[in-house]
Chain A
Amino acid sequence: MKHSFCWSAFFILERRMETLKVNGNETEFPDGLPGTIAQLLKHLNIDEATVVAELEGKIISRDDFANTPLVDGQSIELIRFVGGG
């Protein structure tokens, strides 16, 4: 009993894909989590020059996109300017 429980837990861990909460949506990354914010933007095909990012509630300066690592389960907001009055 104990033995099989261990195996099933292992199986679940193996199968669970790494995720990020991007703009409120749980997003799975079948090919593995992007290593940095810059890589995430590249993955999503978003021009980083137009974006401001907030990782776990903390604003990340654009200069730090390439050296800010992402960890499974984190929440990130990607924000940009739109027309407004």
Chain B
Amino acid sequence: MDKLVIANREFDSRLLVGTGKFPSCESMAQALESSGSEIVTVALRRVDINNKNDDMLSAIDFNKYLLLPNTSGARDADEAVRLSKLARAATGINWVKLEVTPDPYYLLPDPIETLKAAEILVKDGFIVLPYINADPILAKRLEDVGTATVMPLASPIGSNQGIKTKAAIEIIIEQANVPVVVDAGLGLPSHAADAMEMGADAVLVNTAIATADDPSKMAEAFKLAVQAGRMAYTSGFSASSKKASASSPLTGFLRDE
């Protein structure tokens, strides 16, 4: 498969995986392995002083995966910048998945604060992958301030609804000069394949894998779907039409006209 290139770094896998909601560190590690992913997202939170044994990073092999800290929990640009800097201090990695989600019900990203934070972070040397609603103008504005990708949502985070924003994502893909990563709401491998067939450069999946009865199996299913979708896209498939187009010759029938 052709390589995914983000900020001049090459990846063989076009599936990014989130690490939330797994039943255990072991099942997460297995699922990451099965997914073939090379980029995994993590969140930053206060250490729980009363439960110190919640260190999940020990289950992630840093040589194998690029850690992509997110700014989840940030309600405005300032909080997102603060979290980004803490993440950089913790890892030395300057990649960040920028998310600013003040709305607790749909977790929809705030476009104005996201753009503001992106501008600050890019200037500060971060490689910024912003999570956005499927807004083509916003995607362009983010690209203009120097983000490494744009990550439009398919549907609300963790909702498993699939691609509800298809028409807008198609415009984003058509116009983007940076990789488009479809993020959030992909509930089945077929949703991921759909995104890849549309020409998305990659997808990010968390809930659908982590909450499956067999996360590792689902991770592999997503891996295959992403590969299949990408292969289909690069094969140059032909357009759909309303009418039938016979696959078999329409001549030489065994009958007298």
Contact = CB atoms under 8 A, between A and B. Distances in A.
B57 A81 contact: yes
Interface string A70-85: 0000000111111111
User: Taking each of B72, B86, B206, which has the highest tally of chain A beta carbons within 10 Å of its own beta carbon?
Assistant: B86
Interface in B63-102: 67, 69-70, 72, 85-87, 89-90
B250 to A, nearest CB: 51
Contacts of A62: 89
B47 A85 contact: no
A55 to B, nearest CB: 12
Given A22-B49, A50-B57, A79 B204 contact: no
Interface stretch (B4-12, B15-23, B164-172, B192-200): B15-23
Contacts, number: 95
Interface in B10-47: 18-22, 28, 41-47
A33 interface: no
B56 A52 contact: no
Main secondary structure of the interface of B (DSSP, over half): mixed
Contacts of A46: 47, 49, 52
A17 B19 CA distance: 41
Interface of B: 18-22, 28, 41-47, 49, 52, 54-58, 67, 69-70, 72, 85-87, 89-90, 157-158, 184, 204, 206-207, 210
Interface of A: 22-25, 44-47, 50-52, 54, 59, 61-62, 77-85
Given A50-B58, A51-B90, A85-B70, 10 more contacts: A23-B46, A23-B47, A24-B46, A46-B49, A80-B90, A81-B44, A82-B44, A82-B56, A85-B20, A85-B157
